[in-house]
C-alpha cells in the first residue's frame, strides 16, 4: 500500500491508499492503518486496472459516514456530468 495525504482533494481532506497488490488493504498493517485513519478522515482505497488498462480499477471509501456520503455524492455528480 502507498498512502498519500491530500489536504485539498476533490473529496476534501483525504488519504489516498493505493493498493499495489490485490487484497493488500484487507491484510495486516495496511488494514490497521486504514481503520485508524478512517476513524477521523476519508480514506480512498484505489486499485489499478487489473486488466492492464491505463484507467483506475476500483475505488472504495472508508471513514466517518458523513465523509463517505459526501465522497459518494461527488462521484455520482461527476459521473452524471461526464455523460452529458
Q: Over its length of 84 residues, how does the chain's per-residue pLDDT go in tens digits?
A: 999 999 999 889 999 999 988 889 999 999 999 999 999 999 999 987 656 555 567 889 999 999 999 999 988 887 654 433
pLDDT tens-place string over residues 9-19: 988 999 999 99
Cα 54 to Cα 51: distance, rounded to the nearest angstrom = 9
CA distance 78 to 76: 5
Q: What is the pTM of this model?
A: 0.81
pLDDT reported for residue 83: 38
List the chain domain ranges: 2-83
Mapped to the 3 state alphabet, what secondary structure does the chain carry? Answer: CEEEEEEEECCEEEEEEEECCCCHHHCHHHHHHHHHHCCCCEEEEEEECCCCCCCEEEEEEECCHHHHHHHHHHHHHHHHHHHC
Amino acid at each position: 500500500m502507498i498512502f498519500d495525504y491530500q489536504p485539498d482533494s476533490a473529496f476534501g481532506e483525504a488519504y489516498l491508499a493505493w493498493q499495489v497488490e490485490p487484497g493488500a488493504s484487507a491484510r495486516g498493517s495496511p488494514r490497521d492503518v486504514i481503520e485508524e485513519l478512517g476513524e477521523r478522515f476519508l480514506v480512498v482505497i484505489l486499485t489499478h486496472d487489473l486488466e492492464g488498462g491505463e484507467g483506475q480499477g476500483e475505488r472504495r471509501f472508508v471513514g466517518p459516514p458523513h465523509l463517505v456520503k459526501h465522497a459518494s455524492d461527488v462521484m455520482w455528480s461527476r459521473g452524471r456530468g461526464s455523460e452529458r
